[in-house]
Amino acid sequence: MEWRDLSVLITGGTGSFGNRFVKTLMEKYKPRRLIVFSRDELKQMEMRIKINDNGSTVMRYFIGDVRDKERLYRAFKGVDIVVHAAALKQVPTAEYNPLEVIKTNVMGMANVIDAAIDCKVKKVIALSTDKAANPVNLYGATKLCADKLCAAAGVYGREKSTIFSVVRYGNVMGSRGSVIPFFRQQAEKGFIPITDPRMTRFWITLDQAVEFVIKCISMMRGGEIFVPKLPSMKIMDLAEAIAPSAEIDIVGIRPGEKLHETLLTEDEARRTVEYKDLYIVNPSTSNIKNENSSHLAGKPVPEGFCYSSNENNWWLTVEQMRKLINEPQGQDHFFLRTAIA
């Protein structure tokens, strides 16, 4: 792909992922135009100052909400690629405000799809989450719905040359609202609350997440779900990496919380192929009847395969995690180096 010829828009562009995505594209890929679409004017102003594009004509900032279809039509005019990162993603917030989360995560996805097709956007890639696989909370259920909408969009979007795909990954180190800054804050009080000592999680750095999405944009054919191969870590090891001297307070698992994360279910495995650094869930034939949309070069995963954090064969040690959280993002850590970038 020649990024210099492309106009790129990211929804939710002032979030943790959006900030790093914009920085990476500006420094390494240099698109013709880069549009940040988000609701918060203060965060956009802060982003302008931080990026300091020196009056460049590349950057654009659109105030808007994915709930507002008319605003999306205006923003998507002349856009080649849309990265859909906007979402309400706090699990407790979703449980208490279910309809609001549905409006943003589900109806917002539907609005993005309609606007992208009608504005003749070439590619739309949506960011998903491990919580969309066998969801047990409302947030996960809304993201599963969004993933299904994205896959179904390939049926009618393909006729107008717009293709849709999904990227699904686990916990992002350093992202807003993640457990690492929460544990650090609690460690200052001398204790860390653990819901269940058996808990495991997948981990990915912010830089890896950005590079993986960029790679998938080049690879996407429409209707597939991209899943990176990631390391797992035990929640007790994470607590030790952050605050080895802090006391552990076992508080019990919360409603909507899983003991272990799943990135690929057994049902999805029937359509999944494996590559060196990722899995690709091909679209079902009922969604897209086009052989060119399937990634056939990969190796089919075994029958009954399930990619879960507790059955992973790649684990982070306490020392490795400590290096990751104490050193700047962008460090080339040998134990996380993959073909993603």
- pLDDT tens figures, 246-298: 999 999 988 788 999 999 999 999 999 999 999 999 987 655 544 455 666 78
Bigger pLDDT: 295 vs 211: 211
For residue 224, the SS3 value is: coil
On whether residue 68 sits in a domain, the answer given is: yes
Q: Is the pLDDT of residue 26 over 90?
A: yes
Domain membership flag for residue 341 = no
Q: Does residue 27 surpass a pLDDT of 80?
A: yes
Q: Decide if pLDDT at 341 tops 70.
A: no
Query: Quick one: what percent of the chain has pLDDT higher than 90?
Result: 73
Tens of pLDDT, residues 69-119:
999 999 999 999 999 999 999 888 999 999 999 999 999 999 999 999 999
Decide: helix, strand or coil at residue 97.
coil
Mean residue pLDDT of the chain comes to 89
Q: Which of 161, 165, 180, 138 is nearest to 16 (CA)?
A: 180
Residue 300 resides in a domain: yes
What confidence category does residue 173 fall into, taking pLDDT thresholds of 50, 70 and 90?
confident
What is the dihedral angle through the alpha carbons of 69, 61, 139, 307, rounded to the nearest 10 degrees? 120
Q: What is the pLDDT of residue 294?
A: 60
Collapse the DSSP code of 58 into the 3-class scheme (helix H, G, I; strand E, B; otherwise coil) and give the result.
coil
- Annotation says 234 is catalytic: no
Identify the pLDDT of residue 54. Answer: 61
Helices (H) and strands (E) counted in the chain, each on its own, are 12, 17
Q: How does DSSP assign 266-330, residue by residue?
A: HHHHTTEEE-SSEEEEPPPTTT---GGGS--SSEEPPTT--EETTS-S-B--HHHHHHHHHS-TT
pLDDT computed for residue 339 by the predictor? 39
Mean pLDDT calculated for residue range 134-145: 96
Q: Give the pLDDT of residue 255.
A: 79
pLDDT at 334: 40
Tens digits of residue pLDDT in 30-68: 999 999 999 999 999 999 888 876 666 799 999 999 999
* CATH number of the domain to which 25 belongs: 3.40.50.720
Amino acid in the structure at residue 101: V
**Angle 159-31-275 (CA atoms, 0-180°, nearest 5)?**
65
For residue 20, give both structure tokens. 């790093």
Tokens linked to 83: 């990265």
Of 176 and 293, more confident: 176
pLDDT at 218 exceeding the cut of 60? yes
Residue 213: CB atoms within 10 A of its CB come to 22
Flag whether 321 is in a domain: no
Q: Provide the pairing of β-strand 262-264 with 232-234.
A: unpaired
Contact 204, 178 (CB under 8 A): no
Residue 329 in any domain: the answer is no
pLDDT at 57: 76
Q: State the pLDDT at residue 338.
A: 46
Q: What's the number of domains the chain is made of?
A: 1
Range of the domain at 15: 3-172+203-230+262-307
Q: Is the pLDDT of residue 330 over 70?
A: no
Q: Is residue 291 domain-resident?
A: yes
Question: Of 89, 123, 131, 234, which one is the catalytic site residue?
Answer: 131
The whole-number average pLDDT for the span 309-332 is 83
Give all strands (DSSP E) within the chain, no chain letters: 7-11, 33-38, 59-63, 81-84, 123-127, 163-167, 171-173, 191-194, 200-205, 225-228, 232-234, 247-250, 262-264, 272-274, 278-281, 299-300, 307-308
In a domain, 196, yes or no: no
Let me know: does 206 contact 262? Beta carbons within 8 Å: no
Q: Is residue 182 part of a domain?
A: no
The span from the CA of 16 to the CA of 172, in Å, is 9
Interaxial angle between packed helices 235-242 and 318-326, expressed in degrees from 0 to 180 and rounded to the nearest 10: 50
- Work out the end-to-end distance of the chain between its first and last CA atoms, rounded to an integer number of angstroms: 15
pLDDT value at position 335? 44
Evaluate if residue 13 carries a pLDDT over 90: yes
pLDDT of the residue at 239: 94
Yes or no: say if 249 and 192 are a contact pair by the CB < 8 Å rule.
yes
